[in-house]
Amino acid sequence: MASGKDATYNINNFCDYIRTSFSEFLKLQPTLHRDEVHRILHEPAIIRYYRPTNQPWRYYLISLFQIHNETVNVWTHLIGFIILWWIMGELSAEYDVWTEIHSWPMLVFGLCCVISTMTSACVHLLHSRSVYHHYSLFMIDYVGATVYSFGSGIQAFYACSDKATYEYVGSNYLPLLTFMSWLNFIVLCLSKLLFGHNPCDVRRKLMMIAMMTIQAALVTLPFGPRYFRCYVSDTCSLSSLNHLTISWIFFASCAFFFGSHLPEKLYPGKCDVLGQGHQIFHVVSVVNQIWQFHSMRLDLSSGASDHTDPDIVIIMVAFSVLLTVDIVSYVLLKKLIPSFAKEEKQS
């Protein structure tokens, strides 16, 4: 009769057998220590669970079901993508999107959110293929990031803006937002291309955060004066703007976790799979996007966005211009990918 020790041994053997068979079936490779992968692929304070480079694309696609240091980054935005699509479906059932003009900013914002979450999930899934693909795919991630900042500007201007500011800024806001979103893309790409060879270089993060701060100011501009007007009014309570304040706190939290690499810098090697600052940034950004939808609905139902007059054709033209200049810039900037990364790709 088998002893308890033998039974445990057999169960462990059986688990190992299942895991190995599963890995072999999916053609999964064991993950690596950071010393075994190129320095470009290193993330601050992440020590293990890197995927090997130069595997077939199939390997990176299937690694969606493997535990590695990007698994949670992929799934957080993949789940976010599904939730945001579901919200878009609810929206089209709630509003007549053909005739209700105030639902259009929500549609455009939702489109921007699903594009940014999907590109991010794909980039985190595939970028480890080589140093060259790491550079080129993260530049695509920045297309998604600038599309999202464009969507946030649309939300701020057409759904949550201050009436006097909306009338004062008028038709200048959309071209300015489009131009600044494109500039944001250029700065994000250059910061990666110039300083991306050293993942711990603070200049890269400073460039990114400086540009994001300017973009955040542009997005805040349309609704910011509502605080002042409410403060000086006898009939307005600042708590009526809590939905905008909470969104701002989410934005600030995103910037903090994106730039700080906390908590992993405090516990090197302990957050290799779960608990990275970037994962928290992903989760908070999705929660914020859901909250931004909520804010638009609130302002629409309270009549706070009645003064706006969104034109879906003009907004979509601006959106198409942004996408086009982003893609053209991407093709041109790809030439600046460091030569060692191109050589590695060719070898």
Binding interface with Zn ion (CB under 5 A): 120
Q: How far is the CB of 242 from Zn ion (least distance, A)?
A: 28
Q: Say if residue 268 is preceded by a cis peptide, omega within 30 of 0.
A: no
How many residues are recorded in the chain? Answer: 347
CB closer to Zn ion out of 272 and 299: 272
Specify the residue, 63 or 305, whose C-beta has the smaller distance to Zn ion: 63
List C-alpha distances in Å: 75 to 25, 87, 245, 269: 22, 18, 28, 21
- Least distance to Zn ion, CB of residue 282, Å: 6
| Nearest CB to Zn ion, comparing residues 120 and 152 | 120
The stretches of the chain forming alpha helices (DSSP H) are: 4-25, 57-62, 71-94, 104-126, 131-158, 163-169, 173-195, 202-220, 225-232, 242-260, 277-302, 312-333, 339-346
Q: At closest approach, how far in Å is the CB of 71 from Zn ion?
A: 13
**CA nearest neighbour of 278 among 106, 110, 91, 138:** 138
Nearest distance from C-beta of residue 54 to Zn ion, angstroms: 23
Q: Tokens 């600038």 identify what position?
A: 146
Least separation in angstroms between residue 103's CB and Zn ion is: 29
Residues whose CB is less than 8 angstroms from the CB of residue 216 and which lie 6 or more positions away in sequence, other chains included: 251, 255
For Zn ion, the closer of residues 73 and 181 by Cβ is: 73
When the beta carbons of 84 and 174 are compared against Zn ion, the nearer one is: 84
Query: Measured from the CB atom, is 106 or 147 closer to Zn ion?
Result: 147
Least CB distance from residue 120 to Zn ion, whole Å?
5
Q: Point out the residue whose Cβ comes nearest to Zn ion.
A: 120
Residue identified by tokens 């890995």 is 23
